[in-house]
């Protein structure tokens, strides 16, 4: 692993988040460069995040800016597994967090809090402090 890689705290790799029942169909369309409103019209799905990649260094102050509805909150909700991507990878300290078993967290506020606290240490933004499983 290179020196640059070891400094990354959070890595987001080609993340797509599609909301709706036909997410796979919508993903195909968005990969074909169809616009968000076209995808909505054809599949009834909303594109929340479209092929996002970024790296955040340990201790770095990283600002996520964008228009309302551009996917800022959706992105941050991935960091503590409130939601998972339709496609793509998210690494924290080089570990693929999507491989973690989150089932115990659905039944245990304590376990969920522990994970959220760890994620929040990486990313101190409002959605990380959410405790509702449905947020």
Ligand X SMILES: Nc1ncnc2c1ncn2[C@@H]1O[C@H](COP(=O)(O)OP(=O)(O)O)[C@@H](O)[C@H]1O
The residues of the shown chain that bind ligand X, judged by CB under 6 A, are 19, 46, 48, 66, 68-74
Closer to ligand X by Cβ: residue 111 or 130 = 130
- Give the C-alpha separation, 134 to 68, whole Å: 21
Which window, 18-26, 41-49, 72-80, 111-119, contacts Mg ion (CB under 5 A)? Answer: 72-80
Closer to Mg ion by Cβ: residue 31 or 124 = 124
> Closest distance between ligand X and the C-beta of residue 68, in Å?
4
> Binding of Mg ion at residue 74 (CB under 5 A)?
no
CB atoms within 10 A of CB 81: 17
Residue 135 has which token pair? 């947020």
Taking Cα atoms as reference points, which of 85, 98, 81 lies closest to residue 133? Answer: 81
Binding residue (CB under 5 A) for Mg ion from 73, 75, 77, 92: 73
């Amino acid at each position: 692993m290179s020196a640059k890689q070891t400094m990354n705290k959070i890595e987001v790799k080609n993340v797509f988040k599609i909301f709706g029942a036909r997410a796979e169909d919508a993903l195909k369309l968005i990969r074909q460069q169809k616009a968000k409103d076209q995808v909505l019209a054809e599949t009834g799905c909303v594109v929340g995040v479209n092929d996002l990649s970024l790296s955040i260094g340990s201790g770095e102050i990283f600002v996520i800016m964008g228009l309302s509805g551009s996917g800022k909150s959706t992105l941050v909700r991935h960091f503590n597994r409130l939601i998972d991507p339709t496609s793509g990878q998210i690494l924290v300290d080089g570990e693929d967090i999507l491989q973690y078993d989150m089932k115990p967290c659905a039944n245990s506020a304590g376990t969920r809090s522990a994970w959220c606290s760890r994620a929040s240490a990486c990313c101190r933004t409002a959605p990380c402090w959410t405790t509702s499983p449905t947020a």
